Structure 1
Amino acid sequence: MEKILCFKKGWSEMRNIFCMMAALLFAVGCTSSRPGPYVIPPPRNAPPKPLVLPPASLQLTQASGKATNGMVRPQSMPSARLSTPATVQTQLQTVAAKPAATPATIKPSAPLAMPVEIKSTRAASVYLIKPGDQVVVSLRGIPQEQQIEDQVDEIGKINLPFINEVTAAGKSSSELERVIRQAYIDQQIYKNIMVNVILPSQSYYVRGEVRQPGRFPLASGVTLVQALAAAGGYTEFANAKKIQLLRGNKAEYYDARSFEQHPEKDVAIEAGDVIVVHRSVF
């Protein structure tokens, strides 16, 4: 009997514990699955809502963490303007109304300057023989060397042995030398000959204490120092610091040693000049 009473008492306690656990579980389940506000579903046959475009003035501006019309725009996204169809059509009409760009006109460049022929000053100053000039022709390298002095006649010719007349007018001294030499060879008078033509009117003279005094043909640009070198240079008795230059009725003295050290100060020689190198006293 006692066992039966104890069993009933224990069963009653277990039933109470089970009821309390069931009540607790029900309370927790109701709290976690509480429904939200009730949304009325649209009718089944209702037409779809039209798509509403944003207004033309809507712009996406650069903002960091700020919302534009409810949307958060990243910082790296470039700003843009959304255009409505009407705005796009207006822009197309504006582009179509603009005239096509006129191609740029290329102006012709200035014509290139033609090269100017520069004549040599040395060539322009070469003296050409003319009627009335005195000519000295030296024939060398032949059995009997000769020196002929003649005057260019009115028709521009001179007379030479064996070949008679030769045209000299209009030629330089070097050109006349080649003409005379070729005439002797072509006429088989000499197989080889050396010809030297000197124009006394275009010559200068060096005398005094030089190794080869005499008359020398004047070339373009000859200076006092060069003229002395053409005469073989000084002798051991020459006074190089006192060189006399006779030009017409004038006489000038120059220090040739200083000209050797400063060539820019050297004196130019002219036709008919006479250079005199005096003997040194000591």
Structure 2
Amino acid sequence: MLISRIVLAPSLALLMFGCAPTWDTYLPAESGPIVEPAAGLSPPFGTTALPEGYENPSGYRVGVGDRLSIRVYGQEELTGEVTVDASGNISVPLAGTIRVAKLTTPEIARAIESRLSQKYLRDPNVSVQLVTLRPFYILGEVQNPGAFPYTPGLSVQEAIALGGGYTPRADQGPVLVTRRSSSGVQSIDVPVLTPLYPGDVVYVKERWF
């Protein structure tokens, strides 16, 4: 009997570990394709690629609220910083309004080069870099709700800490995360170790007792 218990215990542990939930467990089936992590990338980038605004093998895709630095070599008057507006566009001198949502920074640079070369410059050389990512938001039963700068690798637990921690009335279990994707707005209850993305809204619920 003792031997059978010793053998059974590791088997149960392995079974429980194999059933441990991951972030993908909490995503609806229509959330988008699963992309395998690219070499050198850390979560949440490169883990689950929703169709817009998140890291995937082709690079980070820009979204509303991201701030970009644009440099046109040899043309200092065309160099500066811009923020992606609510329509997913930026405005660049001479190049005009360009839609950049869902594009990587190299793709944006090529789009600007194309516009400038049509009328104004011969063989323009443009570089585009991300200055700041759009913020995430934390609401509900935290001490200091509001918008906070996003940093790569941020988890729900760390977001709660940035919000000053739980209030005495907070439910310290799973929290509600709301995320936009091309399929619409998704709100999902997730564990506190779940990675967040730029633009996510975290809502800490009130406990009932």
Structure richer in helix, relative to its length: 1
The higher-RCO structure (CA 8 Å, 6+ apart) is: 2
Q: Which has the larger radius of gyration?
A: 1
TM category (shorter chain) comes to 0.3 to 0.5
TM-score scaled by length of structure 1: 0.31
